[in-house]
Amino acid sequence: MQRGVRRGTRMRRERRYAALLTAAVAVSLAAAGCTAGPGAKQDGRAPEPERSPSAAAASGLVLAVKVDNVREARPQTGLEAADVVYAEPVEAGLSRLMAIYATELPASVGPVRSARESDLELLGQFDRPVLAFSGAQSKLLPLIDKAPLRAEPPGEDSDAYVRAGDRQAPHNLYLRPGELPRKPSGDAALTTGFTYGKAPAGGRAEPTRTVRYPSASFTFTWSGSRDRWLVSMDGAPARTAEGGRLAPATVVVQHVKVRESDFRDFRGSNSPYVESVGSGQAEVLRDGRAYDATWKRGAAADGTTFTTGDGEPLNFAEGQVWVVFAGTS
Strand partners, 63: 101, 130
Give the span between the Cα atoms of 188 and 61, in whole angstroms: 7
Q: Cβ(55)–Cβ(103) under 8 Å?
A: yes
The pLDDT value given to residue 152 = 93
H or E segment and range at residue 35: none
Strand partners, 77: 110
From the list 306, 51, 295, the residue with the least C-alpha distance to 195 is 306
Q: What's the Cα-to-Cα distance from 124 to each of 11, 95, 147, 171, rounded to whole Å?
A: 26, 21, 8, 27
Fold of the domain built from segment(s) 204-327:
YerB-like fold (3.50.90)
From the list 190, 202, 121, 119, the residue with the least C-alpha distance to 153 is 119
pTM of the model: 0.81
The pLDDT value given to residue 61 = 77
The pLDDT value given to residue 287 = 97
What are phi and psi for residue 27, nearest 5 degrees?
Answer: -70, -40
**CATH number of this structure's domain 10-28+52-179, picked from the four choices 3.30.420.40, 3.40.50.2000, 3.50.90.10, 3.30.230.10:** 3.50.90.10
Residues across the chain: 329
List Cβ neighbours of 165 (8 Å cut-off, separation of 6 or more).
35, 172
Give the span between the Cα atoms of 100 and 84, in whole angstroms: 5
CATH 3.50.90.10 domain position(s) in the chain:
10-28+52-179, 204-327
**pLDDT tens track, the chain, 329 positions:** 333 333 333 333 333 333 433 333 333 333 333 333 333 333 333 333 333 333 333 345 799 999 999 999 999 999 999 999 999 999 999 999 999 998 888 999 999 999 999 999 999 999 889 999 998 888 889 999 999 999 999 986 678 999 999 999 999 999 999 998 765 444 445 668 899 999 999 999 999 999 999 999 999 999 999 999 999 999 999 999 999 999 999 999 999 999 987 776 666 677 899 999 999 999 999 999 999 999 999 999 999 999 999 999 999 999 999 999 999 86
C-alpha of 197 from chain center: 21
List Cβ neighbours of 102 (8 Å cut-off, separation of 6 or more).
53, 55, 56, 57, 58, 61, 62, 63, 83, 189, 190
The pLDDT value given to residue 7 = 31
The pLDDT value given to residue 183 = 52
Give the span between the Cα atoms of 139 and 11, in whole angstroms: 41
DSSP secondary structure, 192-212, as one string: ----BSSPPS--EE-SEEEEE
DSSP secondary structure, 241-287, as one string: TTS-B---SEEEEEEEEEEEEEEE-TTSPEEEEEE-SEEEEEEEEET
